[in-house]
Structure 1
Amino acid sequence: MIQHTVTFRFAEDAQVDAFWTRVDELREIPGVQRFAVLRQVGSKNDFTHGLSMYFESDVEYAAYNDHPVHVAFVAEAWLPNVADFLELDYVVDDR
Structure 2
Amino acid sequence: MIRHIVPFRLTHAHGSAEEADFLAANRALANIPGVENFELLRQVSPKSNYDFCVSMAFADQAAYQAYNVHPAHVDFVQTRWIPEVADFMEIDLVE
Normalized against structure 1, the TM-score is what?
0.90
2:10 counterpart letter in structure 1: F
| Structure 2: stretches of 5+ with no match in the other structure | none
RMSD of aligned alpha carbons: 1.4
Of 14-23 and 81-90, more deviation after overlay is shown by: 14-23
Which of 65, 69, 73 is the aligned partner of 2:72? 69
Q: Deviations over 1:10-59 (max 9, x none)?
A: 11468212212211220110000000011111122210100000000000
Equivalence map 1:4-83=2 (5 Å): 4-12=4-12, 15-83=18-86
CA contact (8 A) 2:27 2:40 kept: no
The answer to whether the aligner puts 1:84 opposite 2:74 as a matched pair is: no
The structure with the greater share of residues assigned to helix is 2
Distance 2:80 2:4 in 1: 18
Distance 1:4 1:18 in 2: 22
1:6 counterpart letter in structure 2: V
Number of aligned residue pairs: give it: 92
2:73 counterpart letter in structure 1: H
Segments of 4+ moved more than 3 angstroms: none
Identity of aligned residues (%): 43
